């Protein structure tokens, strides 16, 4: 028997267990080839990756250390007695092997895999194996089964309404911060729009990161319910309420591998939306040469997959193809995006037009879900909510209801301009590269880091004109970003 | 700048770096989503998985901890100043993504992937992604390219002879310890046979584990050369001499996933053999319902792949299909296997016949590579070497040359018999299950652990007769093994 000890080491997303190499009668080296051990007590068991310790000041011979993930997930008090053994691989790994061999899995088999993944019984390597096998081939029914399984293992929010609207963009376009405009418009009109958003994983900012510049986004389910009851809407971070936890685990592996197959994207997005209680969903698919979807035919294939899975889940969808040829708005990064969003909500004359048009169009599609509106009037109604200032008022009420941010954020103090190397017309801006530059500057952890695009596609520039300004609060971040920008500015000028 | 500190934590096979969460100006959390960081100094760089520490008694704010793998691989002194940054993913990951998308990779692309893997620039997840993508589809030229790449990144042994013979069994059959009989026979005849073997990873024993019961197997290249010069042969652990190091990394991921595609097997085996300097190789492919290869047609496909790759590498092969329907010999586990091997070499009348026949047959094929022997006389010559006691003498000389084992090992002190639940004839013995039971008993770390098979296929048994005896030196090991044996004894009686 070993006693549990908390080890203040965070190996997110993996569970790690620390065991002394000698003196505990366990010969932990015998477990090392397969790395994973099973830690058991009367109350349950957990699987963890083994780290062997050679210093008894870190862990005693009669102890087992649990890293922060494992300690929290196992939930045992320090000092609890446990036993360890070689982990038996989860039985569902047999299905993964069959998937690797090209099989189509049944609904119950997909469910077993997802249950084990959500309960952290798979290592990142095993999750990677499943995802790569799925990337090779996945049938439409398997995609549906995956989505259902992901919904089933998580929490589900229920709103007492037959019409709960939401929107989602598949991502990939920096600055595309429409939710913070769309949600206030829809709320001002009076539809229920409880929006949960993610933080950025590999992009320069997620809606939750940007909204946090203005308000608290870390809301409990009860807080969200209270706010929605009063304001019809909320703009919260989804991570707190445990929607589709398997998705979070899958994403932690998909992102480093840059896996972005349609099937996995559809399952990820729709499982989160159904779990969040949405009934009507507008999906924004930007199409462009550096966007996630690069051709019209790909966009159509993706749309059909969204429609198939959503229909079987009873979710009404309206899928919109948008211009994904360049970033949206001017600012990239939390503080700079907030500036653009607020300029639109304030109806400032120099607010970025593309951001405003894009947001109003999406809000219009959402309002068209309202049976009380005459067909096709959604767009006009959305414009009205924005122009009248009602959307701005709704946003201010939301900020107050969620809790106004007490910290004040400014654009990063270290700044530099990236200049055009030749004269001509801007014909393209590479979304992927812009995102990487902003990310290297420090966004989204550094709220003030990012880029300000001074010219967009179609502009005529002279050699030496500033194309964009980079902001960072850490000098190193500015340096990293400029290094990448020097290689290639992301602007194509012809 | 952070100062390197060695952290006595072994996270084999991964490099791990320990960084304090706060106070060092790095905000390591920003690196956490992608987990991998690049640690650089003037002398070079290393990639490591990030562990974030919340206790400055483990690591100081001005320090970076390197776990044992990373510290050894980076090779810097403690206190060396380094910087950290988000790891840029290895450029060769683009090829992995193309492989995931179903592409055939060029030789230079495969080489780039394998170089990065051998230099520990891939995480297990990324290695898993590559292997699973390859498991989906891999062309014959890709398999050849993989084998070449694996040879090129490691050490190569050179023997001053045009005829360096070797044998290899693809594995999966417990007790199949022929190398320790074959090598002395071949050495007694006078052919050069410098054999490097592996330790068990998921099997109950590897040749290196079993040989170690008798002699030192951890030999340097210089020691091997000296022994081979005198004895024509050696029976060494291959891990010491860095042959095909990429293979070791790949195996550390293949085994937990139980990936055993032909292409990966061929690349693994042939890269090790060519790197070890073999020119002529007998390959033993056991075929049976619980063996790695389960049908004759599969065996033929595998043989053709071995032949294609070997031919392009200039390696002469002779591929033999053998009976893989049950374990070979009686003992499973290092000490018990040594008993069987020595009984054969001593020509004891009750030595396991199947082990002897199998070994003599393989040795005969190897001797047939000798141009000085008349065609087809290898088998008779092998029998002669064994019967005359010359093989035993060669083995004793080898043991002395390598260094006789000073520790004395006995079969495990905790023993129990597993009994037949019904009367009838033994019609099958499940190799996989026998291996798992022996492994749970503690083999190969516990040299005395394992099984002794008291009946083989074809025997008539009565209900209650002992089928096999389980040995362990740890009571817990005996318990684990008996639990699995209780579920299903691995014997089919009809």
Interchain CB contact of A484 with B (< 8 Å):
no
CATH of domain A165-243+250-402: 3.40.1030.10
**Which residue has 């389910």 as its token pair?**
A221
Cβ distance A435 to A399 under 8 Å? no
What whole-number percentage of chain B has pLDDT above 90? Answer: 79
Predicted TM-score (pTM) of the model is 0.83
- Write the pLDDT tens digit of every residue in B178-188: 999 999 999 99
- pLDDT of A24: 79
Of the residues A48, A64, A94, A100, the best mutation for testing chain B's interface (the one with the most B CB atoms within 10 Å of its CB) is A100
Provide ipTM, 2 decimals.
0.78
User: Annotated catalytic sites of A, by residue?
Assistant: 260
Cβ distance A476 to B30 under 8 Å? no
- B360/B136 Cα distance (integer angstroms): 38
- Write the pLDDT tens digit of every residue in B159-203: 999 999 999 999 889 999 999 999 999 999 999 999 999 888 789
In chain B, what residues touch A29 (CB-CB under 8 Å)? 445
Residue B46 has pLDDT above 80, yes or no: yes
Across the interface, which of A11, A253, A442 has its CB nearest the CB of B125? A253
Interchain CB contact of A337 with B (< 8 Å):
no
Of the residues B6, B11, B101, the best mutation for testing chain A's interface (the one with the most A CB atoms within 10 Å of its CB) is B11
- B451/A403 Cα distance (integer angstroms): 67
In chain A, what residues touch B248 (CB-CB under 8 Å)? none
What whole-number percentage of chain A has pLDDT above 70? Answer: 99
Same fold, A165-243+250-402 and A414-493: no
Residue of A nearest to B473 (CA): A25
- Write the pLDDT tens digit of every residue in B33-45: 667 889 999 878 8
Residue A252 has pLDDT above 70, yes or no: yes
- Strands A424-429 and A491-493, bridge-based pairing: antiparallel
- pLDDT of B170: 95
| Beta-carbon separation of B34 and A258 below 8 A | no
Residue ranges of E strands in A42-180: 44-53, 63-66, 81-86, 165-169
| Beta-carbon separation of B27 and A68 below 8 A | no
Nearest alpha-carbon partner for A269 in A300, A295, A247, A252: A247
CATH of domain B414-493: 3.90.1170.30
Across the interface, which of B25, B29, B124 has its CB nearest the CB of A124? B124
What whole-number percentage of chain A has pLDDT above 90? Answer: 79
Residue of A nearest to B88 (CA): A256
Helix, coil or strand: residue A464: coil
**Is the bond into A468 cis (omega within 30 degrees of 0)?**
no
Across the interface, which of B10, B49, B100 has its CB nearest the CB of A52? B10
Interchain CB contact of B102 with A (< 8 Å):
yes
Burial (CB count <10 Å: 0-12, 13-18, 19+), residue B487:
exposed
Q: How far is CA A227 from the centre of its chain?
A: 23
Q: What is the mean pLDDT of chain B?
A: 93
Architecture, CATH, for domain B165-242+250-402: 3-Layer(aba) Sandwich (3.40)
- pLDDT of A231: 97
Q: What number of other Cβ atoms are within 10 A of residue A303's Cβ?
A: 18
| Beta-carbon separation of B128 and A126 below 8 A | yes
| Beta-carbon separation of B256 and A30 below 8 A | no
- A429/A28 Cα distance (integer angstroms): 53
Residue A195 has pLDDT above 90, yes or no: yes
- Strands B460-461 and B424-429, bridge-based pairing: antiparallel
Cβ distance B386 to B181 under 8 Å? yes
Q: Select the CATH number that applies to the domain covering A93-137 from these four: 1.20.970.10, 2.40.10.10, 3.40.50.300, 3.20.20.140.
A: 1.20.970.10
In chain A, what residues touch B55 (CB-CB under 8 Å)? 8
Better-predicted residue by pLDDT, A375 or B213 = B213
Across the interface, which of A35, A58, A132 has its CB nearest the CB of B256? A35
- Write the pLDDT tens digit of every residue in A388-400: 999 999 999 999 9
Interchain CB contact of A42 with B (< 8 Å):
no
Interchain CB contact of B16 with A (< 8 Å):
yes
Angle at B45 between CA A7 and CA A35, to 5 degrees: 40
Task: Give strand pairing partners of A37.
Answer: A48, A86
User: Annotated catalytic sites of B, by residue?
Assistant: 260
In chain B, what residues touch A18 (CB-CB under 8 Å)? 9
For chain B, domain boundaries:
2-86, 93-137, 165-242+250-402, 414-493
Interchain CB contact of B6 with A (< 8 Å):
no
Domain A2-86 falls under CATH 2.40.40.20: yes
- Write the pLDDT tens digit of every residue in A90-140: 899 999 999 998 899 999 999 999 999 998 888 888 899 999 999 988 999
Angle at A393 between CA A392 and CA A396, to 5 degrees: 90
Residue B18 has pLDDT above 90, yes or no: yes
Cβ distance A93 to A130 under 8 Å? no
Residue B253: which pLDDT band, with cuts at 50, 70 and 90? Answer: confident
Give A 63-82 residues with CB within 8 A of chain B.
67-68
Distance from the A440 Cα atom to the nearest Cα atom in chain B, whole angstroms: 9
Nearest alpha-carbon partner for A354 in A319, A323, A386, A328: A328
Among A44-58, A421-435, B246-260, B295-309, which is the least confidently predicted range? Answer: B246-260
Among A208-212, B101-105, B272-276, which is the least confidently predicted range? Answer: B101-105
Interchain CB contact of A89 with B (< 8 Å):
yes
Q: Is B181 left (phi over 0), alpha (psi -120 to 50) or beta?
A: alpha
Residue B80 has pLDDT above 80, yes or no: yes
Instruction: For residue A250, report the phi and psi dihedrals to the nearest 5 degrees.
Output: -60, -40
Give the 3-state secondary structure of chain B. Answer: CEEEEECCEECCCCCEEEEECCCCCCCHHHHCCCCEEEEEECCEEEEEEEEEECCCCCCCCCEEEECHHHHHHHCCCCCCEEEEEECCCCCCHHHHHHHHCCCCCCHHHHHHHHHHHHCCCCCHHHHHHHHHHHHHCCCHHHHHHHHHHHHHCCECCCCCCCCEEEEEECCCCCCCCCHHHHHHHHHHHCCEEEEEECCCCCCCCCHHHHHCCCECCCCCHHHHHHHHHHHCEEEEEHHHHCECHHHHHHHHHHHHHCCCCHHHHHHHHHHHHHHCCCCEEEEEEEECCCCCECCHHHHHHHHHHHHHHHHHCCCEEEEEEEECCCCCCCEECHHHHHHHHHHHHCCCCCCCHHHHHHHHHHHHHHHCCCCCCCCCCHHHHHHHHHHCCHHHHHHHHHHHHHCECCCCCCCCCEEEEEECCCCEEEEEECHHHHHHHHHHHCCCCCCCCEEEECCCCCCEECCCCEEEEEEECCHHHHHHHHHHHHHCCCEEEC
Give B 403-442 residues with CB within 8 A of chain A.
440, 442
| Beta-carbon separation of A54 and B34 below 8 A | no
Longest dimension (CA), chain A: 77
């Amino acid at each position: 028997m070993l006693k549990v000890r908390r080890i203040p080491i965070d190996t997110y997303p993996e569970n790690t267990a620390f065991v002394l190499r000698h003196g505990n009668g366990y010969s932990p080296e015998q477990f090392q080839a397969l790395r994973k051990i099973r830690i058991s007590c009367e109350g349950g068991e957990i699987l963890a990756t083994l780290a062997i310790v050679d210093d008894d000041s870190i862990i005693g011979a009669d102890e087992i250390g649990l890293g922060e993930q494992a300690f929290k997930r196992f939930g045992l008090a320090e000092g609890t007695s446990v036993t360890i053994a070689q982990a038996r691989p989860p039985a569902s790994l047999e299905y993964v092997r069959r998937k690797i061999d090209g099989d189509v899995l049944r609904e119950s088999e997909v469910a077993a895999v997802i249950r084990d993944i959500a309960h952290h019984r798979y290592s990142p390597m095993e999750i990677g194996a499943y995802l790569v096998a799925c990337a090779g081939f996945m049938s439409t029914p398997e995609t549906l089964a995956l989505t259902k399984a992901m919904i089933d293992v998580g929490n589900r929010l229920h709103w007492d309404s037959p019409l709960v609207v939401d929107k989602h963009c598949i991502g990939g376009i920096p600055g595309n911060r429409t939710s913070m405009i769309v949600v206030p418009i829809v709320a001002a009109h009076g539809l229920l729009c409880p929006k949960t958003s993610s933080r950025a994983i590999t992009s320069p900012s997620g809606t939750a990161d940007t909204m946090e510049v203005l308000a608290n986004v870390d809301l409990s389910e009860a807080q969200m319910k209270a706010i929605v009851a009063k304001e019809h809407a909320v703009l919260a971070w989804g991570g707190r309420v445990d929607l589709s936890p398997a998705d979070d685990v899958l994403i932690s592996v998909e992102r480093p591998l840059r896996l972005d197959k349609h099937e996995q994207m559809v399952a990820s997005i729709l499982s989160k939306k159904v779990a969040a209680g949405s009934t009507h969903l507008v999906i924004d698919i930007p199409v462009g040469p550096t966007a996630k979807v690069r051709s019209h035919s790909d966009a159509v294939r993706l749309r059909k997959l969204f429609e198939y899975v959503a229909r079987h889940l009873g979710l009404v969808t309206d899928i919109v193809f948008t211009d994904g040829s360049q970033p949206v708005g001017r600012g990239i990064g939390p503080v700079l995006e907030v500036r653009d969003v607020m300029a639109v909500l304030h109806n400032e004359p120099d607010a970025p037009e593309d951001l405003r048009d894009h947001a109003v169009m999406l809000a219009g599609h959402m309002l068209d879900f309202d049976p009380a509106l005459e067909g096709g009037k959604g767009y006009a109604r959305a414009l009205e909510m924005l122009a009248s200032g009602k959307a701005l008022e709704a946003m201010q009420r939301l900020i107050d209801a969620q809790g106004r941010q007490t910290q004040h954020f400014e654009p990063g103090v270290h700044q530099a301009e990236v200049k055009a190397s030749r004269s001509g017309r801007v014909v393209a801006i590479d979304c992927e590269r812009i995102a990487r530059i902003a990310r290297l500057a420090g966004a989204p952890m550094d709220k003030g880091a990012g880029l300000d695009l001074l010219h967009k596609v179609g502009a005529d520039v002279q050699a030496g004109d500033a194309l964009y300004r980079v902001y960072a609060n850490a000098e190193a971040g500015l340096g990293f970003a400029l290094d990448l920008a020097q290689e290639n500015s992301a602007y194509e000028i012809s």
